[in-house]
Structure 1
Amino acid sequence: NVRLFAHNSMAPAPGAARATAPRVASGGKLDSQRTAAAAKAETQKKYAELSRKQAQKYKASDNSVEAIRLRVRQEMKLEEEALKARVEKELDEKEAADRAVRAVSRAESAALAREARAVYAAALAEDLDEAEPAGSVLPAGRGSWT
């Protein structure tokens, strides 16, 4: 809008300048056309300078669209990383709890197995003591009691 306003306010109406302006010997263009072209070039320079200044102002501003998008992306990335860290921590805790349960289970199994072996060994020893009196001789070809 700024460009159109500046262009329209400085340029003559189409056709009006051509009809009244005298021809110039060099180049065959009308003086008014040169003036209009110079005015247009000047307007474009001013507009370009204004655009640069506005772009710098918006870049410096925290409220520009790009700055807001960048902040939102950074915040989303931080939230995602925090969520990942929390999930990994929970998984690590669950894994540690599972390992502890397995260790307790193995310890209980080992204790039960030791107890069962002790009971079996005691029962076997009792059976052997009852079956053979002390100092008895084994029948030939049967091996030893141990």
Structure 2
Amino acid sequence: MAGSDLSVRPAALDDLPFVSQDGYLPGGVARRKVEDGDVFVAWRGDERVGYLRLEWLWSAVPYIALVRVPALHRRHGVGRALLAAAEAEAARRGQPALYSSSQADEPEPQAWHRHVGFEECGLIAGLNEGGVGEVFFRKAVAGAAR
């Protein structure tokens, strides 16, 4: 499944059903995020195999709100390719770092963050349902205009 046929591009309006499948954003908000270039879609051949959505904290700080890769396509470079697109966008906007997070009770997403170069930078206790905390991560962005 690995190979050079993997590509990532900013989402287009015809990607809305795919990039809205997580159900976290109302339709109008998802559409705006796509129109603003804050959603990236990974493709393998002619199949969508994952997406990443950026948020901008304080309208300036890039934060990965969601990376979604179906189980069948995990461990084949899709998440890493999506991350590279987000890093490039952060660098293009002159940001020195990219942020992300994972629930404190999710060891696999935390391991992925560390594996791809994020470092833990904070914790907010009790942020999620059931009192579960959120672990925050930071990754320096190469090539950012400072």
Q: TM-score range, shorter-chain basis?
A: under 0.3
Higher helix share: 1
Higher strand share: 2
TM-score (norm 1): 0.16
Greater gyration radius: 1
Q: Name the structure, 1 or 2, with higher relative contact order (CA <8 Å, separation 6+).
A: 2
TM-score (norm 2): 0.16
